[in-house]
Structure 1
Amino acid sequence: MRRKRLKIQKKTSYYHLMSRTVNGEDMFGNREREILRKMIWQVSEFSGVRIITYAVMKNHFHLLVEVPSDVRVSDDEIVRRYRRLYPAPTPWQPMRAEILEEHLHQNTLEGIALRKALTGRMHDISWLMKTLKQRFSLWFNKSRDRFGPVWSERFKSVLVEGDRWALKTVAAYIDLNAVRAGLVEDPKDYRFCGYGEAVGGGRLARSGLSLVDKDLAGYRQTLYGAGSGEKSEKHSITREEAVRVLTKEKGKLPLSVVLRCRVRYFTDGKILGSPEFVEARSQSDPEGNKVLPRRPYPMKGADWGNLSVGNGLRKKLFS
């Protein structure tokens, strides 16, 4: 049975979102990853959901996002976002931005309906992911003369506390995806992630990461441990050795080492933050669904800085 997605109403909230290709197949080369990267920025700008960081891989992608509490949008802003999403008329959205602008400013009956419909699609992670995946699937299938699904099941989401340490830890896990996959040794060399784009001068990527650290040098220390320029911890132990210590010996390792392993807390933990945050969010479900966690679970394997999750995840926690 699918769990009800956790949402916070009338308060700025943060989520780690992830979706994988059907059967986990490596379907995306450089061109496909670049198209998806551009679509992420395009769709997020319309929705008003801010991208903190992201990673586009060969068979999946991750987003860390901020959903604002103030969802009021002016007519001028609706038109600006509409132009971003629909720079030219399409078969499924033939209306030009100029026509929309006229309806909104004159407050016609059609304008009232359009305003309600368009703002109803904003500030919503479900709409963001649905639209992003649909748009990419249409482009991908057309470019390959292909039909059929591109993505497997529903996207995964983890509600993250707005605390800077919690956000920074999740962001680092996302930006280190290409390192874990063996595609690069340094995430700054991977152009399809927020950190790589920010180091390359990307304005939006830099702005997103500014939420987790005041500058990229400070954030790099989280990626690599003490010393932003050195990677000694990374080379001191292989990923295979790290997984053995974490799983067979139930030991602990430096955070920057553990972040180079796949850690299910970040994709299946349901809620991530301080014990107080996890407990409060667990008890706030209006339906009292029994599958929701009733207590926080401390994160194991490293010094996570008092972070907990809402799901114990006893099996295959590290890989």
Structure 2
Amino acid sequence: MSISFNDRVAIVTGAGAGLGRSHALALAKRGVKVVVNDLGGSVDGKGASSDAALKVVEEIKAAGGEAIANGASVTDPDAVGAMVEEAMSAFGQVDILVNNAGVLRDKSFSKMTLDDFRFVLDVHLMGSVICTKAVWDHMREREYGRVVMTSSSSGLYGNFGQSNYGAAKMGLVGLMNVLHIEGAKKGVHVNTLAPTAATRMTEGLIPENILALMTPESVTAALLYLACDEAPSRLILAAGAGGYAATRITETDGISLETDHQLPEEILAQMDKILDETGEQLLEDGSGQTMKFVQKAMAREGAS
């Protein structure tokens, strides 16, 4: 079965290098017209240059594709708005948004400044919010859209020295969950990519022989799936070194306590039952948890 893009238009943020560059090149190779967005700063977000984005555009055009470069900071709503207008002027529409731009300012939480914490959240989380907001109504009006967030195992599971990065990356999962619900009736699918790859951000952390397997292209295969016409919605797809897996947030069936037993000592005593995975659920929205507990309470009260 062939993956289809049907002359779609994509904006890829942070596309001047690493994963973003790989995403932009692969989309263009499949006929997607691409806005290559990159501020051109360092890994920690300092400086700016349009050189990287322009080079990727040149690569795309040399291969027969269509692309334009854009140097907007994803943290600047006005610049992002202008980027979307530029995309509309050049290509007439925006079908795909890949929220890939990111920075690192790693330190243990005790040594991290609040400014560094806030800056990483601003780029990863608020940058994705700002870019998605800029295309959201357009996609809803056209009743078609593919939005891909970029999370990380640091957010899903934790990683020492990355409290700011981890908080931002898990925040994107919450954003996806809500936008999936709000976009469903209008054909806007929202998913999350959780990549691991050899990029500027992983240099010095992984042995060389393993790094050779962790290509950005192996992750991009997952991105192409999440951005295509046949894409699902509300999927966290992990990818790296040719491996692909789904991350799911489930909730155990749990227990229901009578009013006079709703005590921390009772929770402690029954923690094995609370942690029992038998009957755990993948809830569709926040009300699912409420209804589960209400139904348990009603059953408990009816039986007493």
Which protein, 1 or 2, shows the higher relative CO under an 8 Å CA cutoff with sep ≥ 6? Answer: 1
Larger radius of gyration: 2
The TM-score by the shorter chain falls in which range? under 0.3
Q: TM-score, normalised by structure 2?
A: 0.26
TM-score normalised by L of structure 1:
0.26
